[in-house]
Structure 1
Amino acid sequence: MAPKGKSRNEDLVQEDILQAVVIADSFNVRFGPITYKKPRTLLPLVNIPLIEYTFEALAASGVQEVFVFCCHLGDQVREHIKKSKWMQGGSPMTVTTLMSDSCLSMGDALREIDAKSLIRNDFILITGDLVSNMDISQVVKEHKARTHGKDKSSVMTLVYKVALPGHRTRSKEDDMFLVEEGGTGRLLYFQKSHDSRKIKIPMDIMLEHDDIISHNDLMDCHISVCSPVVPTLFTDNFDYQTRDDFVKGILVNEEIMGNKIHLSIIRDKYAARVSNMHTYDAISKDVITRWTYPLVPDLFGSNQSERIKYGRHNVYCSEDVTLSRGCELCQDVVVGSGTEIGSGSVVSGCVVGRNCKIGENVILRNSYLWDNVTVEDNCEIDTALLCSGVKVLNNVIIKKGVILAWEVVVGPDVTVPQGTQLMSEPQSDGFDDTESFGEDDMTTDNKISNGKEDSVQDTEKYGQRSKAYLYKPDVDSDNEEEGLVVDVTWGLSASDSEDHLSDNSEEDDDDSRKEQDVESDLEEGEPVDLESDDEDEDVVDSSLGFNPKACMMERNSAFYQELLDTFLRANSDKISDDNLILEINSLKHAYTVPIDQVIHSLPSTLIEMAAQELKIPISAEPQLLAAAKKNIEQYSSLLCYYIKNNETKLIAINGLGDFVIKHKDLQPRLPQFLNFLYDADVLSEQALFGWFESSNFSPGSNEALRHSFLKRLAQPFIKWLREAEEESSDDDDEEED
């Protein structure tokens, strides 16, 4: 007889199994030539395949059953999972691989899953390139409590993380504006912002809801908790290709279907997706600096068949690394097992893979070297990615934003220009019969695309012993979400990125675009931005006598614009200097810019602020000079807060110099601007004389020519300053007599 109080079927009730669906294909070409031999989910992030971070996050969240959906190069994903610890007897979860070569989007993948009837309960929908240390099961509990309580019609809970615009792990392609209902977390409005400065909110949202909260400070974590009905909704609506399509469709048809979507916002945990090279770089640095704890190299990496030691300044080394006497590992460095580094080499901010050979007197900065990379003697590599098997021969300089795909060889004695992406094989034309429409799909045969000569190996450009072919991004809106391709280059400033994109276009289109840009700038009365001219680094501006791009400080355009907007708002709202300093410091951290860039930007910001307040062109005189002087006097205390010593004063002077170099009409006004800062006690005579007399430049170098040019502009003010100083000293002598 069954015990009293129990129903007949109670013994048969089982606890719900927490399921997860991992989409192991991104269906886009964000990683260029890197993923034509290996899918994105298997790319190494700090020497560990990306998908391992995703699995670890799911296991830590108590997930028991995982379905991994693979498309492009799915066989490699399946083989990796077969050999991983997740297929062993002690694994906390079962991992099942699902293969399909015909899927073109996440929507197609969920329709396949629905057809197989694999989902039985609420489940986690996640991408295979996510790094997270949060407990996703807490969001699952919130979702279940909601669907079993007041909001039974909630079909999805989206996870977002607080991150201000410009945060380094926040991808521009995911910038969005959200409106939620206060108190309930229900999503009312969703729109990708794409750097839009104005957002239109439907009036009915304002009228129907008493309490709403708007957000543009959220980063999409690409984690969703879904009800079992979600795959069915994708099946019923073939227009849903992406998760964004699904969210918009639910919001539009909410009155008809009655379905709702809610938000879950995290603040003190880490969750970010590797969606392009910018986020790959940012998340790698977060892992090295331990923001992702416990997913850090010495703990997480030591579980991956090698032991890693953690040292001071975030230096991680495997046990069998060979470091020659005289080499230096500065900070934020990871070195994989079997790697050898020669004497005199300096490594900083880099991840070096397993079994790499680094020669003597090599400089590595902010770069990523995967397994079995060889870098010979006297090379310099700055902010680049070298895939497995790459060889860099003697005396090669690799500049920022360069990507060398699998088994590329460059050198010797060459310089690889910034933003270059090279392959070891000629690029496919993308129209082969074997195309599977997966991520970055390319054939691996040695046919030259369309028989064009531009795919032939350029030995003169990349070295006599090189094996390198230029990769040109194939921007096809059919393969991109909403046809949007941003952040194509990595490691470059916004202006440099524009240069690189224009360099890869056809010459005729490039010339016409350049003419149109110049004409539009002149029509609007705005100066032509020298930072976005399509020039090589060694091209000299004949009107200046030097190349301005090669010697001006790189500037984060988004940060500069936000700084300008902050000053304009502070002036109109009468914000105190103390509060303004707090906002500026917040912007510095949000955009991850160095303090030197803040100091460099402050004087020019106050000048541009004057033009915008008066609604006059930047070249208008004398109104601009009077308003700029007023602004500098008004904010002199704030300027002195940042510009304190001779070093910071030199940065501020050079900032003014860069400003007038960009705005040619203002070049004769450099003496007045320097005088304004001198009268406001921001600049001192000692700093001005020290800058003017500085000779710490190589003769004939671009920097020396720039300094000479600015000295000629500032000569009248420096002459007046010296005469005033001599008169003052003469008066003092007379008083003593």
Structure 2
Amino acid sequence: MSQKKSRGGGVGAAAGDDPDELSRSPLQAVLLADSFTLKFRPITLERPKVLLPLVNVPMIEYTLSWLESAGVEEVFVFCCAHALQVKEHLEKAGWTGKSTAREMAVTAVESHDAVSAGDALRVMYGRGVIHGDFVLISGDTISNMDLKDALQEHKDRRKKDPLAVMTMIIKYSKPSTLTHQTRLGNDEIVMAVDPETKELLYYEDRADSSQLYVTIDKDILASNPTLQLRNNMEDCYIDICSPEVLSLFTDNFDYQHLRRHFVKGLLVDDIMGYKIYTHEICSSYAARIDNFRSYDTVSKDIIQRWTYPMVPDVLSFGNCQEIKLHRQGIYKASDVTLLHSAQIGANSVVGNATSIGENCEISNSVIGEGCNIGKNVLIHGSYIWDNAIIEDGCKVSNSLVCDGVHLRSGAIVEPGCILSFKVEVGKNVVVPAYSKVALLPQPSNEDSDEELEYADTNSGVTDSPRYPPFSSMRSADHPTVLSEDDDLEASETGACGVVGYIWASADTGILEEWRQSIAPIPKDKLEELHHAASVVDDDESEDDLNNHPAVLDQDDDSDVSAVEEDDYSKFEKEVEETFQRALDGIHQDNLILEINALRCKLFSNLLDVFQYY
């Protein structure tokens, strides 16, 4: 039997006469098509995140194309919210279906019960389709790295130590000293790694930007003579996993989030002894689109060709029209209508069948397919998706405009705005900075835990979604500023105001809006953050040093009691949640596994308490 050779000499290349390689299972991957977060709302109420255009190409196309080029032979795409849309795209793009001629087999796995990554992996375990080491990745991840070295390291470690169940891909990324975030808008990550073995010893994402210190268990310091404590690494969310990872999620139903629950759970589990290792990439590219800022950053990286060969002019991604690269990083389709006086600035992309009128200025922006842009329009640092209509004299700055949006003449979209599908902005209306506008009203009860994804039980979007009558605001001949406090009146056309609902800001506050927005954080706000950080540092550093758990006097009985009470409270909460799931109808076999796991945790907690005496 001849073996299939992967492109680029990847891990699926012919193995020669090695009997271990000849008998190996094909390299598999589990791709999570649900992000299990709410950060891309209101857009993701109507379309799954993995199908949102990234430089005019659905995100999932980058992920699947990379997996294929890296030698992965079989991919299982797990989809829950808007599953029908995902499945239809996979078939239309030629990844699935009888007519596909792909080297990589792609299978959609659908479930409407999963509300977390942990649930998704438990479903995959129940299907029994994973037979060896596999790549775990989300469909919003862009990479051009070669998996060969990382996969070989993982296999070599597994031969020596079966408890090495995961290898995490990481790369250098210096965080901001003011906002405690990376250039992707993610929270700063602190990790401790053994410099020789690359074993991960500690992992913490600093969601609270005011947190000045991290707490590391003294046992980690005692058992590891040397370790690297780093806050300049980016988690790429590409993991090479052993099959045991799926069973661990099945044994522990409190594992929901991949990092916050699973990774941290394994790092503190002294009984089973499972280990996680890291693989640092240097010259390759890998990034996950977690929020609107990372959407903007990765888009610019693609345009500037850091993701090569995952760039528009090299991989067509099924586009029928050729995209050509011109000077200064300008990409244009062959059938763009561009009047002579219009100017396309550096690092911009213009899609198929788009027309651009006289005296327009477009810079650092991506324009989708079938857009109609009038005269004297200014677009800077923005993303205009397919079939948008932007009339004469409009201005759009550092914002995202979705499919079918209509901006009437003189409308101004200020930085940081999100205009969801088919929103209409009336003549001379000003949309204030950081506004989110959608035809669908904002849900009254959004899940406060962003790790539990809004799972839409409807597999698709109907042609006539249910929502109250459109709302608009009156406009005069002079520009009208739209705000959440304005009275909105019903309108059939919205010609004088805005057709859509203005969403209230998230409970996380304006700081989070700045940190995760497409728009750069204003300079005056950065100065405010710097001043606030200095005040907090001066006022609290002494108290934190005196009271920080890492320097508490262990002879103090009150400290020991606090530790005991905290551990017992956590254990008591887990028991309560287990019995609640039992009442909700969890399968008997799964319930038995979870109770056994709780017994192990109780024993571990008792050992932790005894060590204080």
Same fold (TM over 0.5): yes
Choose which of 504, 508, 517 in structure 2 pairs with 1:472. 504
Q: Is the 8 A contact 2:25 2:132 kept in 1?
A: yes
Q: Distance in 2 between matches of 1:283 and 1:221?
A: 13
- Decide which of 288, 298, 313 is 2:313's aligned counterpart: 298
Pairing 1:426-441 to 2, within 5 Å after superposition: 426-430=441-445, 437-438=454-455
2:410 to 370, 386, 395: 395
Offset at 1:391?
Answer: 0.3
Residue 251 of structure 1 is matched in structure 2 by 267
Shift of 1:286: 0.6
The range that moved more, 311-320 or 204-213, is: 204-213
Identify which of 181, 188, 204 aligns with 2:201.
188
Go from structure 1 to structure 2 and tell me whether the alpha carbon gap of 1:377 and 1:114 turns closer, same or farther (over 3 Å shift).
Answer: same
Residues 488 and 315 (structure 1), Cα distance of their counterparts in 2 relative to 1, 3 Å cut: same
Matches within 5 A, 1:155-194: 155-166=165-176, 170-194=183-207
- Contact 1:457–1:467 (CA under 8 A) maintained in structure 2: no
Which whole-Å CA distance do the structure 2 matches of 1:341 and 1:184 have between them? 56
Which of 81, 88, 104 lines up with 1:93 in the alignment? Answer: 104
Whole-angstrom distance in 1 between the partners of 2:380 and 2:516: 17
- Decide whether aligned partners of structure 1 residues 343 and 493 sit closer, same or farther in structure 2, where only a CA change above 3 A counts: closer
Q: Secondary structure at the match of 1:82?
A: helix
Please state whether the residue corresponding to 2:171 is helix, strand or coil: strand
Q: Rate the CA distance shift 1:485–1:612 in 2: closer, same or farther, 3 A.
A: closer
Counterpart CA distance in 1 for 2:393 and 2:425 is 14
Structure 1 position 111, deviation (Å): 0.4
1:105-124 paired onto structure 2 within 5 Å: 105-124=116-135
Residue 353 of structure 1 corresponds to: 368
Deviations 1:371-419 (A, max 9, x none): 0000000111111111000000001111001111000000101111111
Equivalent residue runs for 1:200-599 within 5 Å: 200-244=215-259, 245-253=261-269, 255-301=270-316, 303-430=318-445, 437-438=454-455, 444-447=465-468, 457=489, 464=496, 466-472=498-504, 490-492=517-519, 494=521, 553-554=523-524, 556-557=526-527
Seen in structure 2, the aligned counterparts of structure 1 residues 92 and 63 have a Cα distance that, compared at 3 Å, is same
Partners of 2:199 and 2:322 in 1: CA distance: 46
Asked whether the 8 Å contact 1:401–1:489 carries over to 2, the reply is no
Secondary structure at the aligned position of 1:85 is classed as: coil
User: What residue number does 1:144 align with?
Assistant: 155
1:153 is aligned to 2:163: yes
Once the two structures are superposed, residues 688-717 of structure 1 have per-residue CA deviations (whole angstroms, 9 ceiling, x without a partner) of xxxxxxxxxxxxxxxxxxxxxxxxxxxxxx
Amino acid corresponding to residue 464 of structure 1 in structure 2: C
> In 2, are the aligned partners of 1:359 and 1:378 still within 8 Å (CA)?
yes
| Structure having the larger proportion of residues in strand | 2
> Shift of the alpha carbon at 1:468?
2.0
Q: Which residue does 1:61 correspond to in 2?
A: 70
> Deviation at 1:305?
2.1
Is contact 2:389–2:405 with CA below 8 Å preserved after alignment?
A: yes
Matched letter for residue 134 of structure 2: F
CA contact (8 A) 2:391 2:408 kept: yes
1:630 maps to what in 2? none
1:432-487 superposed Cα distances (whole Å, 9 cap, x missing partner): 9xx993279999302379xx998955779x861531211235659xxxxxxx9776
Q: Report deviation, 1:304.
A: 2.5
**How far has the Cα of 1:171 moved from its partner?**
4.0
Check conservation: 1:457, 1:469, Cα contact below 8 A.
no
> Using a 3 Å threshold, how does the CA distance of structure 1 residues 428 and 288 change in structure 2: closer, same or farther?
same
Q: Under a length normalisation based on structure 2, what TM-score does the superposition of the two structures give? A: 0.74
C-alpha separation between the residues in 2 aligned to 1:234 and 1:148? 23
Which has the higher relative contact order, 1 or 2, with Cα contacts under 8 A spaced 6 or more apart?
Answer: 2
In the alignment, the residues of structure 2 paired with residue 216 and residue 431 of structure 1 have an alpha-carbon distance, to the nearest angstrom, of 32
Sequence identity percentage: 37
The aligned amino acid for 1:339 is T
- Partner Cα separation in structure 2 for residue 12 and residue 264 of structure 1: 23
Change (3 A) 1:96 1:397: same
Contact 1:23 1:127 in 2 (8 A): yes
How far off its partner does 1:488 sit? 7.2
For 2:58, the equivalent position in structure 1 comes to 49
Matched residue SS, 1:32: coil
Partner secondary structure for residue 30 of structure 1: coil
What's the CA shift for 1:83?
1.2
| Residue identity opposite 1:133 in structure 2 | N
Unpaired runs of at least 5, structure 1: 1-9, 477-483, 497-552, 566-607, 616-737
Aligned residues: 491
Structure 1 CA distance for aligned equivalents of residues 197 and 76 of structure 2: 31
- CA separation of 1:359/1:439 partners in 2, compared to 1, >3 Å: closer, same or farther? same
Taking the aligned partners of 1:199 and 1:427, their CA distance within structure 2 comes to: 36
Q: Residue 186 of structure 1: CA displacement?
A: 0.5
Instruction: Kindly report structure 1 stretches of 4+ aligned residues shifted beyond 6 Å.
Output: 439-443, 452-455
Check conservation: 2:154, 2:167, Cα contact below 8 A: yes
Task: Tell me what 2:474 maps to.
Answer: none
CA 1:345–1:485: 2 relative to 1, 3 Å = closer
Shift of 1:284: 0.4
Deviation track 1:649-680 (CA, whole Å, cap 9, x = no partner) reads xxxxxxxxxxxxxxxxxxxxxxxxxxxxxxxx
Instruction: Give the unaligned 5+ runs of structure 2.
Output: 1-18, 471-483, 542-613
- Pair 1:256–1:340, CA change in 2 (3 A): same
Corresponding position: 1:24 with 2:33: yes
CA distance in 1, matches of 2:378, 2:399: 12
What's the CA shift for 1:204?
A: 1.7
Determine if contact 2:189/2:206 at 8 Å carries over to the other structure.
yes
Q: CA deviation at 1:172?
A: 4.5
Deviation at 1:420, TM superposition (A): 0.9
2:434/2:513 contact within 8 Å kept? no
**Cα contact 1:353–1:370 (8 A) shared by 2:** yes
Q: 1:455 to 1:69 in 2, by over 3 A?
A: farther
Deviations 1:50-84 (A, max 9, x none): 00010011111100000000011011000000111
Deviations 1:277-335 (A, max 9, x none): 00000100111111111111211247522201111111100000000120000111100
CA distance in 2, matches of 1:470, 1:295: 36
The separation in 2 between residues aligned to 1:407 and 1:379, in whole angstroms, is: 17
Instruction: Check whether the contact 1:339–1:357 (CA below 8 A) recurs between aligned residues.
Output: yes
Q: What residue in structure 2 maps to residue 622 of structure 1?
A: none
Provide the secondary structure at the position in 2 that maps to 1:148.
helix
Alignment RMSD? 3.4
How far apart, CA to CA, are the structure 1 residues paired with 2:40 and 2:264? Answer: 27
Q: Distance in 2 between matches of 1:436 and 1:290?
A: 32
Residue equivalent to 1:713: none
**Contact 2:141–2:289, Cα closer than 8 Å, also in 1:** yes
Shift of 1:365: 0.3
C-alpha distance in structure 1 between counterparts of 2:453 and 2:112, whole Å:
6
